[in-house]
A and B are shown apart, each in its own frame.
Chain A
């Protein structure tokens, strides 16, 4: 177990190194710098600005310098948001995005697993067909269509929730629900297939034969095995929710990391792009290690080595 974690941590460092290097060179590769404006700056001033942000050194030196400061945990200064460091921007916006993402992830997993199990237990009955049609619809209708429609319905026509903003619990519910909708569906479909397979296995038959009530057979015995594919899907799921939250933050005007990231991409704010990519990758890889560990607790046949 310890060996496994150490191995994965080494892999984490390697992945981050590749990702950071890749991002650094791809972004620098682009034409024009972050300070290109329509109005040409006097050369002296331009030189001073470039020197201030250490953009005047050769590319190799810039890269080494960037990597060195990263090791110290310093992701540099934003080129666009004056006098704000990347650490500061991420520190302020990431908790918002994380809250939204975590709520959405929990909703997707809980509702998805329940819906999928329900469909499997009632195979080919109305409930099953209904759930799966719902699932197919929510996978096919993108969040940026459902979200404005839900705003129209629940905020403007029936004023249940505020239109946007952040801070109160009631402002989390609708965006988190919109964000998780397609993933509820994917989890439900995965869960249904897996549950159907498990319900035909011998240990479930044994449990039934011993006379356990159906509820206990499903919740105590079948669920624990059937949930395994969902657990391994949790990694990609988290990655998708993170990207999906960019859209939701735009629509609901949530002050998360999304709007900053989108601006930084179009504005060539290299440091901020790099910082966000690093933080995203770090979060996801760590989450995946946790998922792998959780897996062993659910499936005792697997030993991490």
Chain B
């Protein structure tokens, strides 16, 4: 019986489906996304809490009305964890997308043009790899935040002004994490550009731009998906690190990093409000774990060396 040859993506999907940890993570992430989007609304409808509504119930331990307990202002922690998740996940995905755009373009140009260009461009990547990039991002975000917030305020984006730091986080963290993507894409392009279909396209007179975007890019989709999945948790971690240090997301917004930082501050021997650290910590760790499992699974699935 003849069988239609399967595309690489189909083979990868088939392999991924057999990887239980990756599939479980995938399901977990879908459920998480739904809970994070609709959870706050449901909680508001059921109990009437929003993420900033305080009450007299200071530091209530988890109970039937406040599943995750309450914080210093008597605010329900569950809403805050879910609202924080919205920001953290958004920063993670948008930041990873920024790094993807920069990394893919840089890697494609470097690999395609090769020679001296490639050498210089990759040397720059090597140097950036070994410098404390997060330190630069800290300085950059803090400095630009005031200017950007002011600009937003003056140009009739008042409602956006409080988001200026979050927008800067997208860009700053995205610009930090493009290096791996650039290296991987370059490697792929170096191998692909010797193939006959590229030669054919070039001999028909296609411009480099056309070769890059309509012939090489489609062949890179696999690696791009894999490294996008693996970059999201890294960006989420970095956002929370900056927020933990007080340089990232700030009130009125909150993120997992902010919540963890609030929780970590009040760990003491006399009375520990463990839920303030444990719930945001667990939520974030589970998400990162799921993203890493899924990313590893995807990498194995797209790896032709692991063909069975």
- Decide if B139 is an interface residue (CB 8 Å cutoff): yes
| Cross-chain contact B139 with A152 (CB below 8 angstroms) | no
Contact of A23 among B139, B150, B277 (CB under 8 A): B139
Q: Are A250 and B245 in contact (CB under 8 A)?
A: yes
Q: Are B136's CB and A277's CB within 8 A?
A: yes
Determine how close the nearest CB of chain B comes to the CB of A24; give it in whole angstroms. 11
Contact A140 B285 (CB under 8 A): yes
Docked-complex contact B289 and A140, CB < 8 angstroms: yes
Indicate if B33 sits at the interface (CB-CB under 8 A). no
Q: B246 contacts the other chain (Cβ, under 8 Å)?
A: yes
- Other than the given A144-B257, A277-B136, 18 more pairs (CB < 8 A) read A15-B127, A27-B139, A31-B147, A136-B292, A136-B296, A140-B285, A142-B244, A144-B260, A144-B264, A145-B281, A156-B268, A246-B245, A261-B135, A262-B246, A265-B142, A281-B132, A284-B131, A284-B132
A98 at the binding interface (Cβ < 8 Å): no
- Interface residues of B, Cβ cutoff 8 Å to A: 127, 129-136, 138-140, 142-144, 146-147, 150, 233, 237, 240-241, 244-247, 257, 260-261, 263-264, 267-269, 272, 274, 277, 281, 284-285, 288-289, 292-293, 296
A236 to B289, CA, bound (A): 22
What are 8 residue pairs bridging A and B, where the CB atoms are less than 8 Å apart in the complex?
Answer: A141-B288, A144-B264, A235-B129, A239-B130, A239-B131, A239-B132, A266-B246, A285-B127
B143 touches A285 (CB 8 A): no
Partner of B285, one of A145, A152, A235, A281: A145
CB distance from B118 to the nearest CB of A (A): 18
Query: Which residues of the partner chain B approach A236 to less than 8 Å between Cβ atoms?
Result: 129-130
> Contact at A142–B284, with CB atoms within 8 Å?
yes
| Contact between chains at A144 and B267 (CB < 8 Å) | no
Chain A residues closer than 8 Å to B142, beta-carbon distance: 30, 265-266
A-B contact count (CB 8 A): 125
A134–B140 Cα distance when bound, in Å, is: 35
Report the minimum CB–CB distance from B139 to chain A (whole Å).
6
| Interface hub of B129, B130, B136, B267 (most chain A Cβ within 10 A) | B130
Residues of A within 8 A of B264 (CB): 144-145, 147-148, 251
Shortest CB distance A222–B (Å)? 20
CB <8 Å contact, A148 and B285: no
Q: A136-B293, A239-B132, A281-B132 are in contact. Are A142 and B240 (CB under 8 A)?
A: yes
Complex interface: chain A residues within 8 A of B146 (CB): 30-32
Name the CB-closest residue of B to A149: B277
Chain A residues whose CB sits within 8 angstroms of the CB of B143 once the complex forms: 26-27, 29-30
Which residues on A sit within 8 Å (CB–CB) of B246? 262, 266
Q: Which residues of A contact B144 (CB under 8 A)?
A: 30
Known A-B contacts A31-B150, A144-B260; A243 and B139 likewise in contact (beta carbons under 8 Å):
no
Assembled-state Cα–Cα distance A265/B150 (Å) = 19
Q: Are B245 and A145 within 8 A (Cβ)?
A: no
State the Cβ distance, A247 to closest chain B Cβ, in Å.
6
Map CB proximity to B onto A12-56 as digits: 1 under 8 Å, 0 otherwise.
000100010011001101111000000000000000000000000
CB-based contact A273/B277 at 8 Å: no
